[in-house]
Chains A and B, each alone.
Chain A
Amino acid sequence: MKGESVNNIQLAKRSPSGIKIIWQELKKDRLAFGSLFFLLILLVSVYIASFMMDQKAIARVDIYSIYLSPSERNLLGTDYAGRDILGQLIFGTSNSFTISLCITSLTAFIGLSAGLIAGYFGGVVDNVIMRAIDFIMSLPSTMMIIVFVTVVPKFTVTNFILIMSIFLWTGKARLIRSKTLAERELEYVQASRTLGTPHWKIILSHILPNISSIIIVNFTLNLAGNIGLETALTFLGFGLPESTPSLGTLISYARNPDVLENKWWIWLPAAMMILVLMLSINFMGQALKRAADARQRRG
């Protein structure tokens, strides 16, 4: 008798899970699928290349080859200290991507926790978290990050990631909170609570899976945004320390008008790399967004 009912449940056609739907939508969107494919190839080759190459050799100053234009020896020329641009581009790409990924993951974790707690429990907790978020959001974040970066006693990559994360988790927390609020009122959550399921279990095993598609979409779009923000700050001179070259470091050489006007090979490849990265991640993100929203699905 018992076995039969279990069988019946399994026979009932299971609706595909959120992640499965997203994957199917992504495959249908040729632009997004192409972007994903392209991005994977680009990143894998960049990471492998940066492992194979000797970072010290790239960072070595060579005064006999300053500002060389692209040639067979230096495919993308050299910078003001005679360092190879292509090598710096490869290291810069892997550094920028890794750090943006760290920032995105950290902000996702903070934003998710704050959003779930505020949305699920409501009341005073919600009020306190939301006021904090409102306040952080109304600060001039670019300037605050720059001031923090200057003030912090020991400036390292870890500190940079932490400082960026302080100001970047708020939007995500707000989004997750509003979704959790809506989800909390649904019957399945009420039912589960009546059965005596503890709060943490409801949050983690009921609500979290149901908002997972929103989280994935938001993560992708934030990743693209963070690459832009990190490189912009490094461009201004307040991002990654010089020992860790970023794509922004290469572009910051263009603050010298002579480099900007006459030595395109120094900054243009890095600028294009950022554009290509952000565009392909965004194309994926937009396709995921359509997939997560049943009204916009292509079928």
Chain B
Amino acid sequence: MWKFILRRFFVMIPQLFILSLIVFALAKQMPGDALTGISMDPRISPERIYELREKAGLNDPWYEQYGRWISGIIHGDFGKSYTHKIPVTEVIAERIWNTVFLALITLILTYLFAIPMGILSGRYNDTWIDKIVTGYNYLGFATPLFIFALIMLFVFGFSVGWFPTGGSVSSKVDAQTFEYYVSKLHHVILPALSTALIATVGTVQYLRNEIIDNKFKDYTRTARSKGIPDNKIYTRHILRNSLLPIAAFLGYEITGLVGGTVIIETIFSYPGVGQLFISSIGLRDFSVVTAIVMMLGFATLLGTLLSDIILSLVDPRVRVE
């Protein structure tokens, strides 16, 4: 087992390396570097700028620049933000917990909806309840997240007014009080709910198919012929087998959430990393952009790794030698 995890981990290293190369190449393509602001200044002579560039290492060959950049990242140094004038890590640190919090609530809500729906429609397939769930699935599959989120914001944020329409916390409450956390939760519910209601679709579909498949397996028939009550067959035998792959998709779910944050945080003006990414691109603050791409790229690679490990834990056949 450990051998597999270790090997899978080593596969990730070249992937990270290529990712960093791509991000670095893109960063070099982006207009402007740390000295662009100064070189616009007519009071500073071009010779002096050249000197400064030389000193900052911007005239070195790309592999030396890359080496410095990557070793900085390994030591947790992403450079300085051009617009905020503080280290990139600090800019991101302000936002990252908002995003993690949003992702966590989204994940909880997703499974809270998906698992009961999947179980009901799988167990009672082809009944009215299954038809409702399947119909919902059809709609959810065809609805793009950003449109659903906009409509949710329009209805529950503006028309009915149950939820705030932006921000991550009300400015009227003090930090660290009970009201503060309630307000935080209040702000996160609508974006999380919008994502979760769309994200359930895949899990529901998969769980339903799994349960229907397992229903007719030999072990279920054996259990039934032994006289085990139906409820127990479902909870103890079928559900256990059907939930395993769902658990394994947790990592892929994280990968999907990373893509969604950009859209959902923009719509709900939620101050997280995704919104920071969009606003930094608008402000041409590329050191922040590269840091975010690098970080979230790492997060998705980690998510895939997590899924592969869980999958190999629950299903030994996956452990490729």
Contacts and interface: CB of A to CB of B under 8 A. Distances in A.
B300 A138 contact: yes
Given A232-B146, A251-B147, A278-B143, A135 B158 contact: no
A228 B144 contact: yes
Interface string B127-153: 000000000001101111111001101
A254 B151 CA distance: 10
| Secondary structure class of chain A's binding surface, majority of residues | helix
Contact of B29 (A140, A142, A151, A267): A151
Contacts of B30: 150-151
Given A138-B301, A151-B30, A279-B142, A146 B150 contact: no
Contacts of A151: 26, 29-30
Contacts of B282: 237
Contact of B297 (A140, A150, A257): A140
B158 A260 contact: yes
Contacts of A238: 281
A255 B139 contact: no
A146 B142 contact: no
Contacts of A281: 142
B158 A143 contact: no
A237 B263 CA distance: 11
A257 B159 CA distance: 12
A271 interface: yes
Contact of B150 (A224, A228, A271): A271
B130 to A, nearest CB: 15
A45 to B, nearest CB: 22
Given A140-B259, A147-B293, A232-B144, A282 B138 contact: yes
A147 B258 CA distance: 15
A75 interface: no
B15 interface: yes
Contacts of A286: 138
A143 B266 contact: no
A282 B289 contact: no
B39 interface: no
Given A138-B15, A236-B263, A275 B142 contact: yes
Contact of A235 (B143, B146, B153, B292): B146
B91 interface: no
A171 to B, nearest CB: 13
Interface residues of A, number: 39
Interface string A122-153: 00000000000001001111111011101100
A274 interface: yes
Contact of B296 (A143, A255, A267, A279): A143
A147 B26 contact: yes
Interface residues of B, number: 42
B266 A135 contact: no
B8 to A, nearest CB: 12
Contacts of A141: 259
Contacts of A170: none
A281 B263 CA distance: 23
A104 interface: no
A231 interface: yes
A9 B172 CA distance: 84
B262 interface: yes
Nearest to B290: A147
B255 interface: yes
B151 A271 contact: yes
A142 B262 contact: yes
A255 B265 CA distance: 12
Contact of A135 (B18, B143, B299): B18
A187 interface: no
Contact of A274 (B18, B144, B267): B144
Nearest to B142: A282
A185 interface: no
A143, A144, A255 interface centre (most CB from chain B within 10 Å): A143
A232 B151 CA distance: 14
A238 B292 CA distance: 17
Contact of A255 (B18, B26, B266, B289): B266
A120 interface: no
Interface in B229-279: 255, 258-259, 262-263, 266-267, 277-278
Given A140-B299, A146-B277, A232-B145, 5 more contacts: A143-B262, A147-B289, A237-B282, A260-B154, A271-B151
Interface of B: 15, 18-19, 26, 29-30, 138-139, 141-147, 150-151, 153-154, 158, 165-166, 255, 258-259, 262-263, 266-267, 277-278, 281-282, 289, 292-293, 296-297, 299-301, 304
Interface of A: 135, 138-144, 146-148, 150-151, 224, 228-229, 231-232, 235-238, 251, 254-255, 257, 260-261, 264, 267, 271, 274-275, 278-279, 281-283, 286
17 contacts: A138-B15, A140-B297, A143-B292, A146-B262, A147-B293, A150-B281, A231-B144, A232-B263, A237-B282, A251-B146, A257-B158, A257-B165, A260-B153, A260-B154, A260-B158, A274-B147, A282-B142
